[in-house]
Amino acid sequence: MSVLSVSDVSLAFGGLQALADVSLDVHENEIVGLIGPNGAGKTTLFNCITGFETPDAGTITIHGRRVTGLRPDERTRLGLGRTFQHVGLVRSFTVLENLLVAQHRGIRYHVGSGLFGAPSAFAEEEVIEEQALHVLDHLGLAHLADTPLSGLSYGTLKQVEVAAALATDPTILMLDEPLAGLGPRETAEFGDRLLAMRHELDLTIVVIEHHVPFVLRVCDYVHVLNFGRILATGEPDEIRGNPIVAEAYLGDSAAALA
């Protein structure tokens, strides 16, 4: 059963057709890759799925519920977590503080309880902090919990943003270029963590990434976008051996996808 379904989604900005009849399905516990050249419409599709853009046509469902028209925060409550192409964090906060802020929608105590320091509020804050530290540990970032973001590299900031998205306890995690700023060793480690986390945390993951070998290594299924349309879909080996994909994406031979 599809946990995320996109059906015939189209969106135009003035005379530019950003998306044209895009359809895809993502099943439970899959890691699905979305690749394509710059300007292909990948982030625009993420924006439509997460509610930051409203498509001109088509439908989007999350866990079987049609969400077209719902706000981003309402989609988050349905289990959708997302990172952005450009880091969306509070730079003046520490790593841990950013994860605590990300969990605000899950806080159950009344505002007054927090203001006056009620025991129930303290108890819940402790639970939230424990969850945040657990997420940081999964991503190998626990040692940075009390570090201000201002002192971190861009690649580390992108990983902290993944942690903040995970802290919202999503069932579907959508990652927009999570490898930006990472070296080869960190890229391999992050891929290993994704493969482990989808089972340990019961996650379905959709990832936009320009690092094609990474996508072909970790993803169960890959969708290729070009000029706002789905050019090809298939398992990694099918995409790796597709000369049309190689030409559109790299302007080179299919061997470049290896």
Identify the domain boundary among 129, 150, 169: 169
Q: Cα 208–22–26 angle (5° rounding)?
A: 55
- 121 located within any domain: yes
Whether residues 23 and 12 fall in one domain: yes
- 84 located within any domain: no
Read off the pLDDT of residues 121-166 as tens digits, 9 standing for 90 and up: 545 667 778 888 888 988 889 999 999 988 888 888 888 888 988 8
Whether residues 184 and 139 fall in one domain: no
Q: What percent of the chain has pLDDT over 90?
A: 51
Its domain, for residue 211, covers: 1-79+170-258
Given its phi and psi angles, is residue 227 left (phi above 0), alpha (psi -120 to 50 degrees) or beta? Answer: left
How many whole angstroms separate alpha carbon 152 and alpha carbon 53? 31
Give which of 154, 102, 149 is closest to 128, Cα–Cα.
102
Domain count of the fold of the chain: 2
- 180 located within any domain: yes
Whether residues 54 and 32 fall in one domain: yes
Read off the pLDDT of residues 102-127 as tens digits, 9 standing for 90 and up: 876 555 544 344 444 445 554 566 77
Whether residues 68 and 189 fall in one domain: yes
- 182 located within any domain: yes
How many whole angstroms separate alpha carbon 122 and alpha carbon 107? 11
Whether residues 110 and 137 fall in one domain: yes
